Amino acid sequence: MTSYSIDLQCPQCGAPVVLDETERIVACDYCRVRHIIVSGRHQTYCIPPKQDIPPDSLLYVPYWRFKGMAFALLGSKVLHRLIDSSAQAVENAGVPFSLGLRSQTQRLQQVTPASPGRFLIPTLPVKDLLQRMNGQRLGLGAGQKSPGLQVHIGEVVSLIYSPVLVGAQGLQDGITGRAYSGKAVTLEEEQISPEPPASMSFLPVLCPHCGWDLAGETKSLCLMCTNCGSLWIGHKGRLIQLPFQFYGSRLQDAVYLPFWRFKAGDGELPAEAFPPAIRPLLDEGSKQAFMVPAFKIHPGLYLRLSRQMTSGTGSGFKPEKFPKAAYYPATLPFREGFQFLPILLSRMVRNAGQPAEAVSAAKLKPRQVRLVFVSFHSRGSDLVQPDLNIGLHKNALSVGRSF
């Protein structure tokens, strides 16, 4: 897995800050103020040109960048893979289909209203591209019957603009200078974004309730207020409060791993669809509830943990404030976790030969989303959840941190 670096400016004092693409908090070494990125679903970056290109000849071509887990249900089998790739977000731009290595050797930059050059408007939806790209990587060849179900989960889907020189002699790579085509290119007005595409917005990492500094690693999506005991997540330009609970016994040496918990809404499958031993948890009001990891991990383990947590029963506790302990950061947005439910259901329903049929009957909607901190304790190289009898190798978590 590769990771891109992004050159930013501290929103408070303007000092330069280098961010890893998986980080959500900009921590400034100079003024010490931390900001959380709260802009929309896709971060937008550009690769600055290396060649000297006059603004009139500088064109930015958009690429979708995806890093995460891909799952497909093929008959009764679940295929899965880690994916790290990029693909052009416009058709036939006359430039390479993928970003290749260029974005690993170049630092990315924020697109600002003052960014020079023209930006092509992305026309290919990210969903279609993921379907195509990930289908190939999952080993679903062109001749093969397409699987009933494909899901992609992962937090990094960004839009990266790569520079191209548009000259009388055609197109040239704005980084290496390599010629792409010898023909002159005409661009229609409607292909060009009227202004540089929207970029990032930030908020200081302060509790909206009490003004306290919120705690959380730079990769964490959820931030804790250890003063008033509230939990916060960036959503559509602001911080919103997130319900949470603790699960398992209160241990001395606890490491809390975050899981998303949803109720299924009215479209859930009937209880008889599941064998008694692996029925989903029943929530208050006898609604099925599902639990999936709120962190990235190898896809096979993601599936196993989701199944174990969803069909396990156990009790929780509600402390006044966050107990002093190690908290593993929540790095996977809840909508990504929710998208995983059909794959999880396919591994829980009775109809093991044709799970897709059973799963398609479910019309799930995420309801009453909350973050659950599950207590594990450290035993040698493993983390163990004694109430549910779940074990996890610590290395598996460090692998998950890299994507």
Q: Which residues of the shown chain bind Zn ion in the complex (CB under 5 A)?
A: 10, 12-13, 15, 28, 30-31, 207, 209-210, 212, 225, 227-228
Q: Which one-letter amino acid corresponds to residue 227?
A: N
Quick one: 1 or 210, whose CB is closer to Zn ion? 210
Q: At its nearest, how many Å lie between Zn ion and the CB of residue 216? A: 13
Closest CA to 162 of 68, 44, 79, 325: 44
Q: At its nearest, how many Å lie between Zn ion and the CB of residue 217? A: 18
**8-47 as b/e: b if 16+ CB within 10 A:** bebbbeeeebebebbbbbbebeeeebbbbbbeeebbbbbb
CA R_g for the chain: 23
Quick one: 28 or 171, whose CB is closer to Zn ion? 28
Quick one: 223 or 305, whose CB is closer to Zn ion? 223
Quick one: 32 or 363, whose CB is closer to Zn ion? 32
Q: At its nearest, how many Å lie between Zn ion and the CB of residue 15? A: 5
Q: At its nearest, how many Å lie between Zn ion and the CB of residue 31? A: 3
Q: At its nearest, how many Å lie between Zn ion and the CB of residue 232? A: 9
Could you identify the residue written with the tokens 């929540």? 330
Q: At its nearest, how many Å lie between Zn ion and the CB of residue 203? A: 14
List of residues 6+ apart from 211 with CB closer than 8 A: none
Terminal CA-CA length for the chain: 6
Quick one: 225 or 374, whose CB is closer to Zn ion? 225
Q: Are the C-beta atoms of 310 and 304 separated by less than 8 Å? A: no
Q: At its nearest, how many Å lie between Zn ion and the CB of residue 241? A: 10
Quick one: 191 or 226, whose CB is closer to Zn ion? 226
Closest CA to 293 of 216, 352, 376, 218: 376
Quick one: 228 or 271, whose CB is closer to Zn ion? 228
Quick one: 30 or 97, whose CB is closer to Zn ion? 30
Quick one: 71 or 232, whose CB is closer to Zn ion? 232
Q: At its nearest, how many Å lie between Zn ion and the CB of residue 17? A: 7
Q: At its nearest, how many Å lie between Zn ion and the CB of residue 328? A: 21
